[in-house]
Amino acid sequence: MNFHEYQAKELFAKYKIPVPNGEVARTPDEAVAAAKSLGCDMWVVKAQVHAGGRGKAGGVKLAKTLDEVKQYATDMLGMKIQTYQTGGLALPVNEVLITEAADIEQEIYLSLLLDRANQCLSFVASAEGGVEIEEVAKTNPEKIHTIQVDNTEGLFPYACRKAGFAMGMNAKQVRQLTHIMMQMHKMYVELDLSLIEVNPLIIDDKQDVIALDAKISSDDNAHFRHKEFAAMRDITQEDPAEAKAHEHDLNYIKLDGNIACMVNGAGLAMATMDVIKLKGGDPANFLDVGGGATAERVAIAFKIILSDPNVKSILVNIFGGIVRCDLIANGIISAIKEVGVEVPIVVRLEGTNVNEGKKILNESGLAVISADNLDDAANKAVAAVGA
């Protein structure tokens, strides 16, 4: 789950990470009231969407008067922003953040994320902040500093100080950076996060280090420990099909292909997508319906799959372990009748009562293409697209 900038900064403030004063607004009048309450003479109006690159899309404006605050808020609220980070979606702006303007002397990049290659958490820092860190890594890799966090002993202050001095900070700034990094690590662990990114982390005219921006993502699998996050989710920022899948506890990710996949088990779903690709096809989605592939869940899964107009065929690959194949077959038939699927469906069943399941599908009278194994299923799904 992704958080809006204003939500991320509220969490930062709870962990005593310095951020500019700001208030969120949902109407132009609220924006003006927020600007007045901040008691400064220049403001930044920032569109709240789950993506970077807002500034280039007109989503970040410096206002020198209250009239400008109102005008920028009016322009942004209701607009849709599409950037290189939105995955092809145009995200609606329903809120703007009004913050006090800062005098920036230096911009720094700082993030904390799960480092899968080294099986630990790692900080990534660079004195080249305010731009895409991927570009810095490509053109000036020597300016990227990585601090790996020991899984047992945690983060040591000396490692933070080392990174700060490596980026040319003075003693005061290094102390502040160390505090920020220690609090970021504490926050990451306590809130079960998957990413904290500050771009930019600035040094202002008073030589203080402040988080000017904030991007946070959390691990959905840990939300049972953080019930408060449910109210912070903004489904208007998500793909509608993915949001619907989340509502029904289905794991769905939309892709660019035309062969839809419905599988029970994440590993099997990945393998199914790989085999489709191997056979010359393109998966339209990742979809794990879970161990209990009931008729109701299968019906919902079909509806989500068919909401994608690019889908030309569907490959159902189910292993009957927790649920028997004959029950799965009945569920598939019921779901097809309920939803009214009009694209070719290839079904591969394996596991408990597999012969009974195949017999039910073959005698259903529906246009279901039965497959003997995954290789056969992928071949038939790819062929069905070209038919």
Q: pLDDT tens digits for 40-77?
A: 999 999 999 998 888 888 999 999 999 999 999 999 99
Share of the chain above pLDDT 70, in %: 98
Residue 127 has what pLDDT? 93
The more confident residue out of 51 and 387 is: 51
**365 known ligand binder:** no
Catalytic one of 128, 197, 238, 350: 197
On whether both 293 and 372 belong to a single domain, the answer is: yes
Residue 135 has what pLDDT? 83
Share of the chain above pLDDT 90, in %: 71
Residue 126 has what pLDDT? 96
**264 known ligand binder:** yes
On whether both 281 and 163 belong to a single domain, the answer is: no
**310 known ligand binder:** no
At 134, the pLDDT band (50, 70, 90 cuts) reads confident
What is the average pLDDT score of the chain?
92
**The pLDDT of residue 326 is above 80:** yes
Count of domains forming the chain = 3
On whether both 338 and 252 belong to a single domain, the answer is: yes
Residue 89 has what pLDDT? 78
Average confidence (pLDDT) over 286-309: 83
Average confidence (pLDDT) over 150-158: 95
At 299, the pLDDT band (50, 70, 90 cuts) reads confident
Average confidence (pLDDT) over 283-304: 83
- Among 178, 202, 237, give the residue marking a domain's end: 237
On whether both 78 and 113 belong to a single domain, the answer is: no
Over residues 336-374, the pLDDT tens digits come to 888 888 899 999 999 889 999 999 998 888 889 999 899
At 259, the pLDDT band (50, 70, 90 cuts) reads very high
Amino acid at 374: L
Q: Which of 20-34, 37-51, 103-117, 349-363 has the lowest mean pLDDT?
A: 349-363
Is residue 72 flagged as an active site residue? no
Catalytic one of 6, 72, 95, 109: 109
**The pLDDT of residue 294 is above 70:** no
**The pLDDT of residue 153 is above 90:** yes
Is residue 23 flagged as an active site residue? no
On whether both 249 and 227 belong to a single domain, the answer is: no
On whether both 28 and 169 belong to a single domain, the answer is: no
At 292, the pLDDT band (50, 70, 90 cuts) reads low
Residue 387 has what pLDDT? 54
**102 known ligand binder:** yes
On whether both 229 and 247 belong to a single domain, the answer is: no
On whether both 74 and 209 belong to a single domain, the answer is: no
At 247, the pLDDT band (50, 70, 90 cuts) reads confident
- Among 84, 101, 118, give the residue marking a domain's end: 101
Average confidence (pLDDT) over 264-285: 94
At 221, the pLDDT band (50, 70, 90 cuts) reads confident
Average confidence (pLDDT) over 96-112: 96
- What's the domain range around 174? 1-20+103-237
Average confidence (pLDDT) over 9-21: 97
CATH number for the domain including 218? 3.30.470.20
**124 known ligand binder:** no
**The pLDDT of residue 138 is above 80:** yes
Average confidence (pLDDT) over 309-324: 88
Closest of 351, 287, 353 to residue 314, by C-alpha: 287
**107 known ligand binder:** yes
**23 known ligand binder:** no
**The pLDDT of residue 245 is above 60:** yes
> What pTM does this model have?
0.82
**199 known ligand binder:** yes
**The pLDDT of residue 288 is above 70:** yes
On whether both 143 and 211 belong to a single domain, the answer is: yes
The more confident residue out of 203 and 87 is: 203
The more confident residue out of 239 and 259 is: 259
On whether both 269 and 320 belong to a single domain, the answer is: yes
**The pLDDT of residue 86 is above 80:** no
**322 known ligand binder:** yes
- Among 237, 252, 268, give the residue marking a domain's end: 237
Average confidence (pLDDT) over 137-148: 90
On whether both 13 and 128 belong to a single domain, the answer is: yes
Tokens of 362: 């073959």
On whether both 229 and 119 belong to a single domain, the answer is: yes
CATH number for the domain including 259? 3.40.50.261
